Structure 1
């Protein structure tokens, strides 16, 4: 390790047997901020804000569990030999695609039970989801994970990154691509686009589908830089395959819903 460079402590609060990790705090902050934004928008759109509060109470734990299950399934060779590590999510190892699957399924069931439009719910939630993902990547930063391949220090300095990011990308004697940062910036740009598209008054459901397309497009390319990808085969990255599938499905849904007349209502409609 270069002299004087020490990684940031991933533990925010250490009370002996009780440790609170930055990873969990950062993800929690992202969820909270996303919820606040969604609550304000739901109220503006004429929805009872308790609907989103109730949805979050179900969706967040289910999303975390499904994200972990997704990750464990594709790393089963390791976890089958180390079952005690399955619950250690504070060390990282939750997959956003798994969280997305869990949260969407939860929203579908929730919408049916509450008799509200699923598409209206997910349209309102879309910017919050992407913002939460942008913030959550900084949890990966604290754990020194979700990084890319080897680079030089001068490469990172030429990107004009703050010193603390450069130093945190120094892992076991090597500097790495800050892919967590690339995805975080991509997601923040996506949030800005989604918030702007609200004013365009897209057809209901298309704001959420735009989120799916935007996130998946960025994830496909950024995933190609990472060194810790979940692999389907030796050369096929699971996240890239899922991203392509999600883009295709989202585009197909936009076309299908318009052709079949299922997208007559607009985002700003009551």
Structure 2
């Protein structure tokens, strides 16, 4: 007998708490603790990130929802009340990243901090939040790939609860949420291992490149992609753009600035844009 996981985690009277919201919140909380540990280790006062997280959470959630709504505008113009129904899904990660970046830009400019060093400290945590948040898509039975057989899923040695949840109306689907979650976890390990040996800003840029490569290929497997003019997958276009941007900024900053290694910098957060001397 196949039992799908109920999207509602807790019901209190007529008020429902959804697994989707719980997992998004859990991802943010875990990301906060990982990032805060790194920031304190680098010399920030404990609590600095708390101030910044206020902006990041608000901007990220609003950005993620607006991005999704804009690329489904015809539907939401006809059903405006559904715009606020975030518990039903419909949070685009690229929109959240844009919102989070704008929040970080505002906060670092306001306090005269180095945006790139903040990015270096936060990116492994962002991947952690994304890895956990994808399980909200799993509960909602969304963000999946094309049709597969049960035998295919069994060959992946997946636990029974994942196989059952990938059965939607009698059809089994690729668990692309899981592929991306695993890709993100591997990315956390990669960034943390390489970060001490990279220059200021390069961990942030490596995140853009690494995440976007995985997202590009995984997005190609999905059946519910947001589309541009019904022709191009929005996430793939965005991923290619971020890969190119990351590479260009990496080369540009490395040539123009004399940047220290991330692992060598403690207690200096103002600027690392010391121009290289012309030879």
State whether TM-score is above 0.5. Answer: yes
C-alpha distance in structure 1 between counterparts of 2:181 and 2:254, whole Å: 32
C-alpha distance in structure 2 between counterparts of 1:48 and 1:214, whole Å: 30
Q: Which residue of 2 aligns with 1:98?
A: 95
The Cα of 1:7 is off from its aligned counterpart by 1.0
Give the counterpart of 1:245 among 224, 228, 241. 241
SS in 2 for 1:253: helix
Q: Which residue of 2 aligns with 1:219?
A: 215
The Cα of 1:123 is off from its aligned counterpart by 0.6
Q: Which residue of 2 aligns with 1:208?
A: 204
C-alpha distance in structure 2 between counterparts of 1:43 and 1:234, whole Å: 46
Q: Give aligned pairs, total.
A: 265
Q: Are 2:111 and 1:114 aligned?
A: yes
Q: Which residue of 1 aligns with 2:20?
A: 23
Q: How do 1:1-270 residues align onto structure 2 when only pairs under 5 Å count? A: 4-200=1-197, 202-261=198-257, 264-268=259-263, 269-270=265-266
The Cα of 1:50 is off from its aligned counterpart by 2.0
The one-character-per-residue Cα deviations of 1:69-111 (angstroms, maximum 9, x if unpaired) are 0000000011110000000001000100000001101101100
Structure 1 segments, 4+ long, off by >4 Å, are: none
Structure-1-length-normalised TM-score: 0.96
C-alpha distance in structure 1 between counterparts of 2:75 and 2:230, whole Å: 16
C-alpha distance in structure 2 between counterparts of 1:49 and 1:248, whole Å: 35
The one-character-per-residue Cα deviations of 1:57-76 (angstroms, maximum 9, x if unpaired) are 11111100011000000000
Measured on the aligned residues, the alpha-carbon RMSD in Å equals 0.9
SS in 1 for 2:78: coil
SS in 2 for 1:175: strand
Gaps of 5+ in 2: 267-279
The Cα of 1:170 is off from its aligned counterpart by 0.2
The one-character-per-residue Cα deviations of 1:154-173 (angstroms, maximum 9, x if unpaired) are 11111110000000000011
The one-character-per-residue Cα deviations of 1:195-223 (angstroms, maximum 9, x if unpaired) are 101232x1111001111111100000000
